[in-house]
Amino acid sequence: MCAMRPEPDHEPGASSPGQLDRPDYPSPHEQGWKAVLTPEEIRRALSRIAHEILERTHGGEGIVLLGIPTRGVYLARRLAARIGEFEGAPAPVGSLDVTMHRDDLRLRPARPLQRTEVPPDGVDGKTVVLVDDVLFSGRTVRAALDALNDLGRPRSVQLAVLVDRGHRELPIRADYVGKNLPTAHREAVRVLLAESDGEDSVLLGERDQ
């Protein structure tokens, strides 16, 4: 163990834990990668999602934003800050590690765990908005629903993603989508965020074999 293998991004059943600390995370401007969202477009998409969340939850009453590590957490924090700008009070935000609930654990060596941090008021009776960077197979979200189930009983659960790239393998859909991105199965989507990668960008390229 411990040669933690870099994970291909957003393959079926894979999300992106642990990329933050990985020095070999590919440079955003490597050949063969095409930018599909600019920093400006990401900013606008997040503002729109924040507005939509407020609209659908009647001013954000009783909401808790839970980001799925790694990049979902940064997106959740940005959304919470955005909601704060619009409504005066930032939304409670946390993180939810889904590693222990994944259905593909047995397919690779054990992975390091990421942080789960639930705001002090918990999730019972709240409207939990799960936040992730890319929605692909839906397996990460299924794992997140299971993980959430062990933390308490929210009144409802919604899903916000920056990119929906299709190819669902489970009956799961997002409530808030930054951009619907039609992709081929062999393609890969990479989300870069200033917090972890030094810049904001969404890239589309061939999955490396």
Partner 1 sequence: MNRHLISAGDLSREDAVLILDTAAELASVADRPIKKLPTLRGRTVVNLFYEDSTRTRTSFEAAAKRLSADVINFSAKGSSVAKGESLKDTALTLEAMGSDAIVIRHPASGAPRRLTDWTSGRVINAGDGTHEHPTQALLDAFTIRQRLVGPDQRGKALDGIRVTIVGDVLHSRVARSNVLLLDTLGAEVTVVAPPTLMPWAIESWPCKASYDFDAELRKTDVVMMLRVQQERMSAAFFPTVREYRRRYGLDTGRMALLPEHAIVMHPGPMNRGVEIAAEVADSPRSTIVAQVANGVTVRMAVLYLMLGGAADGAA
For residue 161, the minimal CB distance to partner 1 (Å) is 24
Residues 118-147 that bind partner 1 (CB under 8 A): 146
CB atoms within 10 A of CB 20: 17
1 contributes a contact to partner 1 by CB under 8 A: yes
Give bridge partners of residue 125 from the DSSP assignment.
Answer: none
DSSP class per residue in 86-144: HHSSPPPEEE---GGG-S-GGGSSPPPP---B--TT-STTSEEEEEEEEESSSHHHHHH
4 contributes a contact to partner 1 by CB under 8 A: yes
12 contributes a contact to partner 1 by CB under 8 A: no
Q: Are 80 and 135 in contact (CB under 8 A)?
A: no
100 contributes a contact to partner 1 by CB under 8 A: yes
106 contributes a contact to partner 1 by CB under 8 A: yes
Query: How would you label 21-38 residue by residue, b for 16+ Cβ within 10 Å and e otherwise?
Result: eeeebbebeeeebeebbe
Q: Which two tokens stand for residue 183?
A: 């992709």
β-strand pairing of 187-192 with 201-206 = antiparallel
201 contributes a contact to partner 1 by CB under 8 A: no
Q: Are 133 and 162 in contact (CB under 8 A)?
A: yes
108 contributes a contact to partner 1 by CB under 8 A: yes
114 contributes a contact to partner 1 by CB under 8 A: yes
155 contributes a contact to partner 1 by CB under 8 A: no
Which among 43-51, 107-115, 154-162, 199-207 is the span making contact with partner 1, rule CB under 8 A? 107-115
CA angle 46, 50, 53 (to 5 degrees): 135
For residue 177, the minimal CB distance to partner 1 (Å) is 29
167 contributes a contact to partner 1 by CB under 8 A: no
Which among 81-89, 96-104, 157-165, 191-199 is the span making contact with partner 1, rule CB under 8 A? 96-104
105 contributes a contact to partner 1 by CB under 8 A: yes
77 contributes a contact to partner 1 by CB under 8 A: no
109 contributes a contact to partner 1 by CB under 8 A: yes
The contact set with partner 1 (CB under 8 A) reads: 1-5, 21, 97, 100-101, 105-116, 146, 149-152
